[in-house]
């Protein structure tokens, strides 16, 4: 129901007007005597139209303006009752902001026609207003959702700060969300991993695959999984996740401690460039594979390119967005263009390269995501892998015949040690040492096997068959293993003792010289891998010191 507000100081005319409006079926009419009263009422009773006596408004323009402001964002029609048919007075009403005038005395048909026309505009304006509010609400929602997603992306795609210091890179998305991806990480071994890739398309839709990809890359690279296995993992994830027309071109690389030996897997990306210090292209790592997310796991190919660069060489990686940039006359930069820039200025840093690119493009708009990185080949810092825990610990266990048959305590111990901070790097050596000591205690101490059996290929296998037989028949026997970690000396003291005949080391010593003998090299290996090897109690007890600093 339409709500009409009448401002009329004269009570008699006021009643007359209200009566007219009632006749015209406007049932909700409020009358006030002054502008001040009207202004306070407008917002509270949601007025649809104001009919005001011209004389009631002392400074009409300001007062009409104020009434309309109080009504909020929708249009509030103000009709002014003008007593005279003088043009000047009527004009004054319009100039003050009235939307129409009502000449007094008022004919009901005129009132009806003019009021209806104004109310139609009011209704239109209200509809528009509510659509506007709805749109603004949607907009606010989208902004909020984008902000949340951007926040998640920023956190999920944050680049490992250790690795970041080693690689110079630049990411320029064409919209809020990047369909390009650049990640790097250092593994527990201290090797450097990187991934540069490009999802089909750009914007949010193409960025969606970045999250699972980043997660898979960060966890696998930390464990020093080979690049082709990382590629295979991401491939199956994306194959499952992405719609059929979406895929991910990418290069995954691992660079060893020396900073020169690299293993590269390239699927569907432009070639990775290796430039010499003089600016010559030393090697191009072209794509050998299809993009990720296309092939079934069993069709997936694992071939990897391996290369040893010179110190000082630069590895340059980029997405196609870079070489497809066009200058104002429409010429594409191309790989030749990029290579030319790198040849002209071999030590150009990424920031400067990006500036050259912007100058090349001129005022044109960036159409695709652009990603670019550079790695200077050279020794990687190894601090991360060298951090050693601060607390001393002792680990001791004793296995008896049944345990020995059922499990290999060395494997269990290594699995445990490898999870300790700073020790993973040593787990390979510790495995070799512990295996050697344990095998000696078991095979020679408890099972009394003779290594000379290993002299021939068939004897070698026979030796292990015999080992199995005697192990099955073993009725008594114990082996105890004790590890002491000393954080101050940064070393692990390893003690192994067996309840049997011990290990007759004199037989084996020096046989490593005879390269053809497939046995006896164990003890020599031990001496190389550890600081000290000492046998006591007729060979039943052995102490080895392993230095973590070596």
Positions touching another protein (CB under 8 A) are 189, 224, 226, 256-257, 263, 306, 408, 411, 414, 427-429, 431-432, 435-436, 439, 454, 457, 460-461, 464, 467, 512, 515-519, 521-522, 524-525, 528-529
| Nearer residue to another protein within complex by CB, 203 or 226 | 226
Min. distance of Cβ 431 from another protein in angstroms?
4
- φ, ψ of residue 547 to 5 degrees: the values are -95, 125
Partners of 478 in the β-ladder: 400
Q: Closest CB to another protein among 75 and 429?
A: 429
Which residue, 78 or 496, is less far from another protein as judged by CB?
496
| Closest separation in Å from C-beta 150 to another protein | 38
Least distance to another protein, CB of residue 452, Å: 13
Nearer to another protein, 263 or 491 (CB): 263
Of 63 and 187, which CB lies nearer to another protein in the complex structure? Answer: 187
Cβ 303 to another protein shortest distance, Å: 11
**Residues in Cβ contact with 234 at an 8 Å cutoff, skipping those fewer than 6 apart:** 212, 213, 216, 217, 248, 250, 292
Is the previous residue joined to 105 through a cis bond, with omega within 30 degrees of 0?
Answer: yes
Cα distance from N-terminal residue to C-terminal residue, the chain: 90
Q: Choose among 82, 81, 36, 88: nearest CA to 62.
A: 36
- Closest to another protein by CB, 226 or 312: 226
Nearer to another protein, 24 or 517 (CB): 517
H-type alpha helices, 33-107: 35-45, 60-70, 87-95
Q: Tell how far CA 294 is from the center of its chain.
A: 22
The dihedral of CA 429, 433, 436, 441: what is its sign?
Answer: negative
How far apart, in whole angstroms, are the C-alpha atoms of residue 193 and residue 214? 12
In eight-state DSSP terms, residue 96 is T
- The distance of closest approach from Cβ of residue 153 to another protein in the complex, given in angstroms and rounded to an integer, is 33
Nearest CB to another protein, comparing residues 156 and 545:
545
Closest CB 200 distance from another protein, rounded Å: 30
Query: In 246-392, where do the E strands start and end?
Result: 248-255, 261-267, 272-275, 281-285, 305-308, 314-318, 370-376
Output the smallest distance, CB 236 to another protein, in A.
Answer: 16
DSSP-assigned states of every residue in 232-266: HHHHHHHHHHS-TT--EEEEEEEE-TTS-EEEEEE
Q: In whole angstroms, how close is the CB of 310 to another protein at the nearest point?
A: 18
Report, in Å, the least distance between residue 329 CB and another protein.
48
Q: Which is nearer to another protein, 250 or 526 (CB)?
A: 526
DSSP letters spanning 148-174: HHHHHHHHHTPPPHHHHTTEEEEEE-S
């Amino acid at each position: 129901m339409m709500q009409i507000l009448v401002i009329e100081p004269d009570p008699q005319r006021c009643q007359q007007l209200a009566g007219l409006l009632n006749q015209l079926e406007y049932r909700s009419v409020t009358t006030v005597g002054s502008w001040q009263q009207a202004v306070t009422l407008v917002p509270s009773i949601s007025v649809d139209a104001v009919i005001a006596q011209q004389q009631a408004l002392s400074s009409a323009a300001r007062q009409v303006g104020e009434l309309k402001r109080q009504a909020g964002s929708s249009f509030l029609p103000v009709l002014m009752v003008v007593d005279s048919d003088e043009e000047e007075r009527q004009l004054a009403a319009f100039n003050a902001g009235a939307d129409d005038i009502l000449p007094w005395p008022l004919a009901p048909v005129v009132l009806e026609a003019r009021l209806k026309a104004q109310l139609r505009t009011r209704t239109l304006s209200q509809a528009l207003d509510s659509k506007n509010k709805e749109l603004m609400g949607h907009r606010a929602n989208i902004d909020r959702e984008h902000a949340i997603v951007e926040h998640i992306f920023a956190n999920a795609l944050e680049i490992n700060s250790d690795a970041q210091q080693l690689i110079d890179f630049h990411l320029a998305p064409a919209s809020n969300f990047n369909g390009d991806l650049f990640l790097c990480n250092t593994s527990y071994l201290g090797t450097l991993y990187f991934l540069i890739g490009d999802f089909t398309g750009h914007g949010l839709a193409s960025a969606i695959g970045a999250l699972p990809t980043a997660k898979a890359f960060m966890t696998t690279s930390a464990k020093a999984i080979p690049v082709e296995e990382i590629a295979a993992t991401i491939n199956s994830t994306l194959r499952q996740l992405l719609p059929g027309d979406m895929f991910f071109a990418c290069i995954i690389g691992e660079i060893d401690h020396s900073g020169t030996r690299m293993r590269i897997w390239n699927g569907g990306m432009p070639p990775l460039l290796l430039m010499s210090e003089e600016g010559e292209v030393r090697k191009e790592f072209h794509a050998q594979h299809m993009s990720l997310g296309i092939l079934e796991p069993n069709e997936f190919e694992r071939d990897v390119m391996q290369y040893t660069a010179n110190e000082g060489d630069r590895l340059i990686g980029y997405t196609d967005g870079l070489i497809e940039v066009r200058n104002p006359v429409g010429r594409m930069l191309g790989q030749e263009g990029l290579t030319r820039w790198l040849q002209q200025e071999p030590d150009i840093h990424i920031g400067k390269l990006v500036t050259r690119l912007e100058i090349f493009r001129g005022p044109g708009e960036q159409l695709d995501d652009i990603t670019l990185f550079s790695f200077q080949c050279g020794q990687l810092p190894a601090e991360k892998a060298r951090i050693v825990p601060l607390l001393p610990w002792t680990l001791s266990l004793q296995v008896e015949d049944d345990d020995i048959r059922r499990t290999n305590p060395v494997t269990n111990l290594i699995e445990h040690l490898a999870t300790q901070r700073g020790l993973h790097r040593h787990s390979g050596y510790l495995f070799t040492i512990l295996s050697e000591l344990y095998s000696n205690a078991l095979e020679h101490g408890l099972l009394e096997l003779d290594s000379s059996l290993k002299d021939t290929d068939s004897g070698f296998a026979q030796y292990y068959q015999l080992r199995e037989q005697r192990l099955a028949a073993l009725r008594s026997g114990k082996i105890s293993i004790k590890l002491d970690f000393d954080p101050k000396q940064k070393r692990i003291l390893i003690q192994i003792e067996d309840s049997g005949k011990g290990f007759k080391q004199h037989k084996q010593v020096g046989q490593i010289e005879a390269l053809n003998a497939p046995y006896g090299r164990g003890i020599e290996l031990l001496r190389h891998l550890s600081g000290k090897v000492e046998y006591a109690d007729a060979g039943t007890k052995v102490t080895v010191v392993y230095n973590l600093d070596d």
